[in-house]
Amino acid sequence: MSSTAGQVIKCKAAIAWEAGKPLVIEEVEVAPPQAMEVRVKILFTSLCHTDVYFWEAKGQTPVFPRILGHEAAGIVESVGEGVTDLQPGDHVLPVFTGECKECDHCKSEESNMCSLLRIDPDRGVMIGDGKSRFSINGKPIYHFLGTSTFSEYTVVHVGCLAKINPLAPLETVCVLSCGISTGFGATVNVAKPKKGSSVAVFGLGAVGLAAAEGARVSGASRIIGVDLNSDRFEQAKKFGVTEFVNPKDHDRPVQEVIAEMTGGGVDRSVECTGNINAMISAFECVHDGWGVAVLVGVPHKDAVFKTSPVNFLTERTLKGTFYGNYKPRSDIPGVVEKYMNKEMELEKFITHEVPFSEINKAFDLMFRGEGLRCLIRMEN
């Protein structure tokens, strides 16, 4: 075991003390892992839009002070009682949702929505004893999505850690722990486009471009990118996007524009914005008889999906997906292998890098809409 096993570790963490205020790097105490928990040394993390959403705390229960962060890669420092499939030194990706391997969802081949460990943004404590593993001067600092990767060390439930190939570069594969797997999996696991088919992708941020990458890897011949920001179109070509539509350039619904471009509609569409109108357009732009639309973006809680039932009767299919339909422990190691075997590209998603001490710059980049993923390099 490591020399720190069983002891409290003092390290640096970026703390969100209140909504919308810059993170503050401070020394925290990280307690040892309890039963079925693992303490992980985080080496790389990145900023995802979900972190910003809960940091702003405009539409949900505010939980502060809190350590955000959920897209990351690290190395196991020590394990708690009952943990058998991980040991110190293992390379892992923490994931915001889990796989207990025992509930009905985990036993189902179709679902990845673990009953025990599925995403719970309101929970700021560990599931085992309802307490936080982080503290400053004896006062608890709350967890985020069970991961809290904006800390040099964090404690995670074993079911939320994917053990990966130790040869994989952590600074690159860290992006697979959230957004890239979500978009890529939505296409390859759920939309399942056939070789030579047409795919429309709504929203060309990191998740949408990962969906386009999935279409490219699947052999789609036409990948139509839809976005309100025409500046994103040039970059999207690197991800296989062949044509672009900006809905603002047209005076009729974008689904009609796409239907005309494709002789009746695309074979598959993937919606990655969470905008309810984009969701409806993504469904209505697929071809009758065989078209499949997949929803990835998270809508406003009061949003209502409105379309004519005739669109279903004419054999269009609407699906939703969560984390690309991947089970974290069973499937994500295989996605890392896809990257290692050069079957998918990841480097192009990482457009910026900052040291941990300058983590607030990553937030600034996201607010300015610059780049896709900003890698945050821990300095421990």
- Same domain, yes or no, for 153 and 250? no
pLDDT for residue 152 = 98
Residue 340 lies in a domain: no
Distance separating alpha carbons of residues 173 and 359, to the nearest angstrom: 19
Residue 210: its pLDDT value, please? 98
Report the C-alpha gap between 267 and 316 in whole angstroms. Answer: 10
Instruction: Report CA dihedral (376, 296, 273, 73) to the nearest 10 degrees.
Output: 0
Q: Quick one: pLDDT band at residue 380, thresholds 50, 70, 90?
A: low
Cβ atoms of 132 and 142 closer than 8 Å: yes
Mean pLDDT of 126-132: 97
On whether both 247 and 371 belong to a single domain, the answer is no
Same domain for 189 and 310?
yes
Contacts of 323 (CB under 8 A, 6+ apart): 95, 96, 97, 112, 181, 182, 185
3 within some domain: no
R_g of the chain, CA atoms, integer Å: 21
Q: How far is CA 174 from CA 12, 319, 377, in A?
A: 20, 27, 11
Q: Residue 38 belongs to what H/E stretch?
A: strand 37-46
For residue 66, the domain's CATH number is 3.90.180.10
Integer Cα distance of 201 and 210 in angstroms: 10
Q: 71 and 42, same structural domain?
A: yes
Reported as a pLDDT band with limits 50, 70 and 90, residue 162 is: very high
What percent of the chain has pLDDT above 90? 95
The pLDDT of residue 325 is: 98
Give the model confidence (pLDDT) of 310-346 as tens digits. 999 999 999 999 999 999 999 999 999 999 999 999 9
Residue 172: inside a domain, yes or no?
A: yes
Residue 133's pLDDT band (cuts 50, 70, 90): very high
Q: Which of 285, 306, 321 is the last residue of a domain?
A: 321
141 with 84, same domain? yes
Is a pLDDT exceeding 90 seen at residue 257? Answer: yes
| Residue 47 in domain | yes
Residues 233 and 292 in one domain: yes
85 and 164 assigned to the same domain:
yes
What average pLDDT is seen over the chain? Answer: 96
Question: In sequence order, which residues have a C-beta less than 8 Å from that of residue 316 and are 6 or more positions away?
Answer: 283, 286, 287, 288, 291, 292, 293
Confidence band for 61, pLDDT divided at 50, 70 and 90: confident
Q: Which has the closest alpha carbon to 314: 291, 346, 343?
A: 291
Is residue 248 assigned to a domain?
A: yes
Tokens of residue 233, six digits: 């179109």
Above 80 in pLDDT, residue 1?
Answer: no
**Helix (H), strand (E) at residue 50:** helix 49-56
Active-site residue set:
48-50, 70-71, 100, 103, 106, 114, 118, 178, 373
- Whether residues 30 and 54 fall in one domain: yes
List pLDDT tens digits, range 286-307.
999 999 999 999 998 899 999 9
Burial of residue 195 (number of CB atoms within 10 Å: 0-12, 13-18, 19+): exposed
- Burial (CB count within 10 angstroms: exposed 0-12, middle 13-18, buried 19+), residue 239: buried
Q: Where residue 62 falls among pLDDT bands split at 50, 70, 90?
A: confident
**Is the pLDDT score of 60 beyond 80?**
no
* pLDDT of residue 206 exceeding 80: yes
| Residue 98 belongs to some domain of the structure | yes
Query: What whole-number distance in Å separates Cα of residue 281 and Cα of residue 284?
Result: 5
Inside any domain, residue 341: no
Q: What is the mean pLDDT of residues 54-79?
A: 93
pLDDT mean over 153-161: 98
Shared domain for 169 and 220, answered yes or no, is no
CA 336/CA 276 separation, integer angstroms: 32
Q: How many structural domains does the chain have?
A: 2
CATH number of the domain encompassing residue 222: 3.40.50.720
> Which residues span the domain enclosing 205?
183-321
For the chain, first and last CA: distance in Å? Answer: 20
Question: Which residue bears the tokens 């379309």?
Answer: 307
What pLDDT, on the 0 to 100 scale, is given for residue 57?
87
Instruction: Let me know whether 151 and 210 are in one domain.
Output: no
Residue 56 domain-assigned (yes or no): yes
> Can you tell me the distance from the alpha carbon of 277 to that of 254, in angstroms, rounded to the nearest whole number?
10
% of the chain at pLDDT higher than 70: 99
The average pLDDT across 153-179 equals 98
Q: Give the HSE-up count for residue 6: Cα atoms under 13 Å, Cβ half-sphere.
A: 4
> 171 and 89 in one domain?
yes
Q: Based on the domain organization, do 198 and 128 belong to the same domain? A: no
Which tops the pLDDT comparison, 2 or 256?
A: 256
- Facing residues of 294 across strands? 270, 319
Kindly tell me if the per-residue pLDDT of 263 is higher than 60: yes
